[in-house]
Amino acid sequence: MVELDYLFQKLEIITPLGKDLLKNLKFLIDKDSIECELDKIEETIKKINTEKEKIEKIKHNLMYIKDIKRTIERINSEYILDDIELYEIKYFSIYYEKIRKEATFSYLKMPDLKEVIKILDPDNTNLPTFYIYDSYSTELKKIRKQRKKANDKEKEKLYIKEMEIENKIREKLTNKLKKYKEALKQALDDIGELDFVIAKSQQAIEYKLTRPELSNQICINGLYNPLIKDRLKNGKYQPINIKLKNGVTLITGANMTGKTVILRTIALAQSLLQYGFYIPAESAKMKIINKIFLISGDYQSTLNGLSSYAAEMLKLNEILKYIKEKNNAMILLDELARNTNPHEGKLIVKSVIQILNKHNSITLITTHFNNVADKNIRKLRIKGIKKEKLKSNITPENITEIIDYTLIEEDKEIVPEEALTIAKLLKIDEELIKTIEKLKKEETLNE
């Protein structure tokens, strides 16, 4: 989903370890796991707000962290680490310890790696470099001194001896590090987690995201779409309030009144929650669901030779198959059957509503068809054009300011006809406007 990708790309993740966590995100469906992720963000936001200097130090040192998982895995009984690998472990451990000093978060284990540094830094320089130090062996130190004064023939013999001693030292160092293999693995995990949660928390602050309360219902106040809001820049953005229940809810509204954005924003909020993020709203109660389905016209299948309609029908079939076998899904259908003729399209929408309303899932459908739902189907309508704004100077840049995006309960099921009004406001070709009005009058007389 574009909106989700947008927020993920905006995350300021520093380390490859943190980026791996984002890449391998899991869709969480149990309450404890989700609450755990939300707790981490809440704790970290408090730290960011009260201990800014510490957080900046952590972020600075995170820039030096590399992914050394493969190197750590090589610490075993058969493999001897080489100088580069020993350097990687020392380098990581030094910067990790600098981070550990500042990172007092309850969700991290942060094992002590000072002993690892001692093993790889016998001279206690605390420099992020490594070689086989003289301090490791008095014999090695002696041979190195002798080599400086020896002739070429002696140098060659001493060099071979030196390499033998160095290899024994590498083996000894590898064996010593075995004791700390699990601690090193935990340290890598903690660093990735810390980096990722700080990024999530800073984004929550920047976009004023909120922690939702887990509930058996969905009730969101002040829901907004960060991507649209960013694109509007200085334009006004109107958040919405919405409650969703099991069964089908129908949303009607004229073109340009934001029906598609509402569906995509609900999908975004639900996805963020179940990936362990705060959501774009002022406050919210959210229900955990097992799967999200969104049909919004952006079908990859069209690239494979299928028409938009065929791709839509295949996706719809996937949804129906899922809810008949399982349950507790969120199904968001935007202008279903828009790509076929109106008569058949209307029948498709009516049939889908009847079937989905029988299942224990949350379904939200936007439509441009009139009279497709029974009386027991919940109906919402976007208020639409603000009548008091009709005399304003309207341009393509500010037209959204004349739309009231508030969702209201509606008994009737008539899609508002505001397309002509919007065309007039945009000063579309006068001949076209008059022709539309003429045909509309003729159609009304013939009914």
Domains of the chain: residue spans and CATH: 2-199 (1.10.1420.10), 209-416 (3.40.50.300), 419-447 (no CATH)
| Dihedral angle over CA of 351, 352, 358, 360, nearest 10 | 180
Q: Which helix (H) or strand (E) holds 178?
A: helix 152-178
Question: Does residue 132 have a pLDDT over 70?
Answer: yes
Do the Cβ atoms of 322 and 329 come closer than 8 Å?
yes
CA 43 to chain centre: 19
Residue 444's pLDDT band (cuts 50, 70, 90)? low
11-58 pLDDT tens trace: 999 999 999 999 999 999 999 999 999 999 999 999 999 999 999 999
Asked if 166 and 132 count as a contact pair (C-beta separation under 8 A), the reply is: yes
- E-state strands within 10-141: none
63, 45, 42, 62: which is closest to 102 by C-alpha?
62
Question: What mean pLDDT is reported for the chain?
Answer: 87
Give the model's confidence band at 302: pLDDT under 50 very low, under 70 low, under 90 confident, else very high. very low
pLDDT tens per residue across span 61-101: 999 999 999 999 999 878 999 999 999 999 999 999 999 99
Spatial distance between the Cα atoms of 214 and 92, rounded to a whole number of angstroms: 39
pLDDT value of residue 141: 92
Contact (Cβ atoms closer than 8 angstroms) between residue 194 and residue 13: no
Nearest-angstrom CA–CA distance, 22 and 10: 12
- CA dihedral (267, 273, 276, 282) positive or negative: positive
Tens-place pLDDT, residues 317-328: 999 999 888 888
pLDDT classification of 331: cutoffs 50, 70, 90? very high
Q: Over pLDDT 90: what percentage of the chain?
A: 56
pLDDT at residue 304 above 80? no
Residues comprising the chain, all counted: 447
Of 9-23, 237-251, 292-306, minimum mean pLDDT range: 292-306
- Is pTM, for the whole model, over 0.85? yes
Which two structure tokens, joined as six digits, stand for 115? Answer: 């002993």
- 153-156-157-159 Cα dihedral, nearest 10 degrees: 150
Bigger pLDDT: 339 or 224?
A: 224
Q: pLDDT digit string (tens) for 387-424?
A: 666 656 666 566 666 777 788 877 765 555 566 676 76
Residue pair 216/287 in contact (Cβ under 8 Å)? The answer is yes
